[in-house]
């Protein structure tokens, strides 16, 4: 699963893979439009629904947070 | 030496990417023109970085969601002020627009006089336009009626979704802003009247293309266009599209154009032929 998430991130925002901070949005690594694309691909890849309540800066602060979000949704 | 502008104050209202870019540009230009710079965020967005940017540069920032409060704030300015409405849905009331010390410019995400009002990227996709663009215009008491300062055009691709188009238009809007900002500050912008018909359609915030509903019998190309026109990701600008599957109301969770021509069957998925080589794959949930 992690590998797939990273592949999706790489496709839309390669910089996110090397980012080691905790606020990709504030640090200008990712923007809201990129988030839409990432969410869309994650939903398709894992056949999950990512509710709008999860699409917040906190869950997209770095790649680990995104992986954690997907893991949580897959377990639901 | 300061360049010549009549404006003592510059106020930027908005949120998101374009507002951030305009703030950054206005900071650069502040050295040239010497205006005071302030930023107001009227709508809160979970990914907005406007406040952080202002803090970093020591620019006064206020978040004012209440319309009356915002009106009172803008009404309190006594100096010559240029208000830049960047990504902003606040409608400036007549009493503000008519104040002699205020000049307001607004970015609209369509080629005015076409598609005035809200959610223009959605309407241009839904109606099948091949081209759209952006307009910076002076704000008057009528919605999106003021004189045009500058416009830029772009094509609408066959697969373009509303959020993709919105992003493209914001990029264009920033480019156009940079082109016209000096002229606006010097009150030398060559603005032209829109010249629209009295009965032109105004797109309201509560209007949704096709009321967000399609029949399965409709052309897949039409359905695809509708779904793309409603697609702002999770931003909740429109409710999910709906249709009827096996006599039951269903909402569309997601969709995608995929390669292939054979009909496939899968739970909670619809596959509609889209041209000769593609399928429109739609995931739905019964209500």
CA distance B160 to chain A (A): 13
Tokens 């596959």, residue located: B271
Q: Which residues of B touch A35 (CB under 8 A)?
A: 47, 233
Contact B169, B156 (CB under 8 A): no
pLDDT score, position A6: 96
pLDDT score, position B1: 45
Give, in degrees to the nearest 5, the angle at Cα B125 between B283 and B151.
Answer: 145
Q: What is the pLDDT of residues A2-52, one digit of tens each?
A: 999 999 999 999 999 999 999 898 888 998 889 999 999 999 999 999 998
Residues in chain B with pLDDT < 70? 1-3, 261-263
**A&B contacts, CB < 8 Å:** 44
Contact B245, B216 (CB under 8 A): yes
> b/e map of A47-57 (b: 16 or more CB within 10 Å)?
eeebeeebbeb
How many other C-beta atoms are found inside a 10 Å radius of the C-beta of residue B158?
12
pLDDT score, position A76: 81
3-class DSSP state of B127: coil
Contact B7, B81 (CB under 8 A): yes
Contact B150, B180 (CB under 8 A): yes
Contact A32 B253 (CB under 8 A): no
Q: Which residues of A touch B236 (CB under 8 A)?
A: 52
Q: Which residues contact B268 (CB under 8 A, 6 or more apart)?
A: B283, B284, B285
Q: Which residues contact B56 (CB under 8 A, 6 or more apart)?
A: none
Q: Please report the domains of chain A, with CATH numbers, ordered by start residue.
A: 2-75 (1.10.1200.10)
From the list B47, B52, B254, the residue facing A32 with the nearest CB is B47
Contact A32 B164 (CB under 8 A): no
Q: What is the pLDDT of residues B178-229, one digit of tens each?
A: 999 999 999 999 999 999 888 889 999 999 999 999 999 999 999 999 999 9
Q: Which residues of A touch B232 (CB under 8 A)?
A: 36
pLDDT score, position B214: 97
Q: Please report the domains of chain B, with CATH numbers, ordered by start residue.
A: 9-185 (3.40.50.170), 209-286 (no CATH)
pLDDT score, position B262: 62
* Average model confidence (pLDDT) across chain B: 93
From the list B16, B234, B256, the residue facing A52 with the nearest CB is B234
Q: Which helix (H) or strand (E) holds A8?
A: helix A2-12
Q: Which residues of A touch B47 (CB under 8 A)?
A: 25, 31-32, 35, 57
pLDDT score, position A25: 85
């Amino acid at each position: 699963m992690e590998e797939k998430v990273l592949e999706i991130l790489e496709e839309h925002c390669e910089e996110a893979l090397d980012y080691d901070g905790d606020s990709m949005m504030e640090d200008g690594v990712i923007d809201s439009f990129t988030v839409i694309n990432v969410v869309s691909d994650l939903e398709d890849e894992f056949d999950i629904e990512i509710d709008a309540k999860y699409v917040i800066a906190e869950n997209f602060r770095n790649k680990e947070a995104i992986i954690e979000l997907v893991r949580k949704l897959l377990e639901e | 030496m300061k360049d010549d502008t009549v404006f003592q104050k510059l106020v930027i209202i908005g949120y998101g990417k374009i507002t951030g870019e305009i703030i950054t540009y206005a900071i650069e230009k502040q050295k040239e023109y010497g205006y005071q710079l302030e930023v107001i965020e009227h709508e809160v967005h979970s990914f907005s970085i406007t406040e952080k940017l202002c803090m970093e540069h020591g620019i006064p920032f206020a978040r004012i969601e209440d319309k009356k409060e915002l009106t009172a704030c803008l009404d309190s300015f006594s100096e010559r002020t240029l208000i830049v409405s960047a990504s902003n849905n606040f409608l400036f009331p007549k009493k503000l627009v008519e104040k002699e010390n205020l000049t307001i410019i607004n970015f609209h995400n369509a080629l005015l006089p076409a598609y005035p009002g809200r959610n223009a990227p959605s309407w241009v996709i839904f109606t099948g336009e091949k081209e759209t663009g952006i307009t910076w215009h002076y704000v008057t008491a009528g919605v999106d009626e003021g004189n045009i300062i500058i416009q830029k055009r772009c094509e609408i691709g066959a697969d373009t979704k509303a959020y993709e188009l919105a992003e493209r238009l914001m990029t264009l809007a920033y480019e156009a802003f940079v082109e016209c900002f000096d002229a606006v500050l010097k009150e030398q912008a060559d603005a032209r009247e829109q010249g629209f018909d009295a009965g032109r359609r105004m797109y309201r915030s509560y209007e949704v293309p096709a009321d967000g509903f399609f029949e399965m019998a409709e052309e897949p190309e039409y359905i695809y266009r509708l779904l793309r026109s409603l697609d702002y990701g999770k931003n909740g600008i429109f409710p999910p599209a709906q249709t009827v599957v096996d006599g039951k109301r269903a909402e569309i969770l997601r969709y995608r154009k995929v390669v292939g021509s054979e009909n496939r069957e899968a739970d909670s998925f619809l596959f509609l032929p889209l041209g000769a080589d593609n399928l429109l794959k739609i995931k739905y949930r019964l209500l």
